[in-house]
């Protein structure tokens, strides 16, 4: 970074105890890297900081160790989360899945990050029906598979808590935990004290749910939030099978700028403000038709505009 002072974000009272971040996937999509030209990791951090974001996921191309600490400190930023994939078959986690997740916990601690975000890995049989996973005959976790996944998360969550961090499970399109019913089954089988939820608003919509309903249902168990919007037209094509699976949806930019899709942004933020949510609000958009920084700025503007409107409504009440 050039050493120029970071711009201060707009002041707000609504969700004043929450932090606003953005994930680097908008600039560097790990699933489909060909969609964006290569970009230096520190240039990504520069753009995040310039736009006013306070944190990011630990990107695969980010520096590590002292270089990472220096890069973040120079921009007044933090690592909000480390994302980790739990590979599963229908019978549950594969051998070595817990050990791989523990490595991600070690990375989180080394980066002085806040939240470990595990998700089930995509599988061919589920990725091809992403967006229509509520249909009959869709492959699902067996009862034993769900129990084994829950046991892994309980163990990992306990270790995460002991390390002074938070574990928040991420439901995800194209995986064995995509739909609201699948998330409900998993949460019922895990310990609430150690296994929280990363509510991804875009993936919850993809799975057939309503994010505001989820926030009311799970309350304080939602410990991390991905603010993600979804293009209803592209989602409809996935639901009819016109688009053949999760990656096809990503190529068509099924996830869009916050405020540009079907997400009830005001409802989500008002619900979080109503319980004085104090975690991270992470803007996330997998790919964009616009230059990444332009899309990030659009989402930042919408989120801060909605928060200011919540303040005005509160003061007028």
Query: Residue 47 maps to which CATH number?
Result: 3.20.20.150
Distance CA 228, CA 257 (A): 8
Return the pLDDT at 38: 83
pLDDT of residue 32: 84
* 35 SS3 class: helix
Q: Provide the whole-model pTM.
A: 0.94
How do the pLDDT tens digits run along the chain, 317 residues long?
Answer: 333 334 445 556 789 999 999 999 999 988 888 887 789 999 999 999 999 999 999 999 999 999 999 999 999 999 999 999 999 999 999 999 999 999 999 999 999 999 999 999 999 999 999 999 999 999 999 999 999 999 999 999 999 999 999 999 999 999 999 999 999 999 999 999 999 999 999 999 999 999 999 999 999 999 999 999 999 999 999 999 999 899 999 999 999 999 999 999 999 999 999 999 999 999 999 999 999 999 999 999 999 999 999 988 877 76
- Dist CA 228 CA 261 (whole Å): 9
Residues 6+ apart with CB under 8 A from 15: 269, 272, 273, 277, 281, 307, 310
192 in a domain, yes or no?
yes
Distance CA 255, CA 287 (A): 7
The residue among 317, 303, 315, 316 whose CA lies nearest residue 15 is: 303
Helix and strand totals (H; E) in the chain = 12, 12
**pLDDT score recorded for residue 244:** 85
Name the pairing type of β-strands 55-57 and 166-170. unpaired
Tokens 């979804």 belong to: 230
Which pLDDT score, from 0 to 100, does residue 315 have? 75
Indicate whether 153 belongs to any domain.
Answer: yes
Neighbouring CB atoms inside 10 A of 33's CB total 12
Domain span at residue 266 reads: 19-316
List phi, psi (to 5°) of 200.
Answer: -100, 110
Helix axes 97-110, 143-162, angle to 10 degrees: 30
**Which distant-in-sequence residues (6+ apart) come within 8 Å of 228 by Cβ?**
200, 201, 202, 203, 255, 258, 263, 283, 284, 285
Closest CA to 245 of 206, 211, 200: 206
121 inside domain: yes
Please tell me the predicted confidence (pLDDT) of residue 14.
86
Report the number of distinct structural domains present in the chain: 1
> Does 14 reside within a domain?
no
Cα gap 106→122, rounded to integer Å: 23
Q: Is residue 71 part of a domain?
A: yes
pLDDT at 8: 46
Say if 83 falls within a structural domain: yes
pLDDT of residue 10: 54
- Residues sharing a CB contact under 8 Å with residue 302, sequence separation 6 or more, in sequence order: 257, 258, 259, 265
46 belongs to a structural domain: yes
Residue 30 lies in a domain: yes
pLDDT at residue 7, as a whole number: 45
């Amino acid at each position: 970074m050039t050493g120029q002072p970071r711009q201060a974000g707009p002041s707000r009272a609504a969700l004043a105890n929450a932090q606003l971040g953005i994930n680097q996937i908008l600039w560097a999509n790990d699933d489909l890297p060909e969609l964006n030209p290569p970009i230096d990791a520190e240039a990504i951090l520069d753009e995040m900081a310039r736009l006013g974001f306070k944190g990011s996921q630990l990107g695969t191309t980010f520096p590590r160790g002292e270089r990472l600490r220096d890069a973040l400190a120079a921009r007044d930023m933090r690592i909000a989360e480390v994302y980790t994939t739990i590979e599963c078959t229908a019978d549950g986690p594969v051998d070595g899945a817990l050990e791989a997740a523990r490595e991600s916990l070690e990375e989180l601690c080394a980066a002085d990050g806040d939240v470990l975000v595990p998700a089930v890995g995509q599988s061919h049989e589920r990725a091809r029906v992403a967006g229509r996973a509520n249909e009959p005959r869709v492959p699902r976790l067996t009862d034993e598979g769900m129990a084994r996944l829950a046991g892994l998360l309980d163990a990992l969550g306990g270790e995460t808590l002991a390390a002074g961090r938070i574990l928040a499970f991420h439901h995800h399109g194209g995986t064995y935990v995509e739909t609201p019913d699948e998330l409900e089954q998993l949460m019922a089988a895990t310990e609430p004290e150690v296994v929280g939820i990363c509510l991804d608003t875009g993936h919850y919509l993809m799975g057939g749910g309503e994010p505001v309903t989820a926030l009311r249902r799970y309350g304080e168990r939602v410990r991390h939030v991905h603010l993600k919007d979804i293009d209803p037209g592209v989602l409809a094509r996935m639901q009819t099978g016109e688009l053949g699976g999760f990656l096809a949806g990503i190529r068509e930019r099924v996830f869009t700028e916050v405020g540009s899709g079907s997400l009830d942004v005001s409802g989500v933020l008002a619900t979080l403000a109503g319980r004085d949510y104090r975690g991270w609000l992470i803007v996330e958009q997998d790919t964009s038709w616009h230059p990444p920084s332009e899309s990030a700025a659009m989402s930042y503007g919408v989120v801060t505009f909605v928060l200011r409107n919540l303040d005005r409504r509160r003061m007028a009440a």
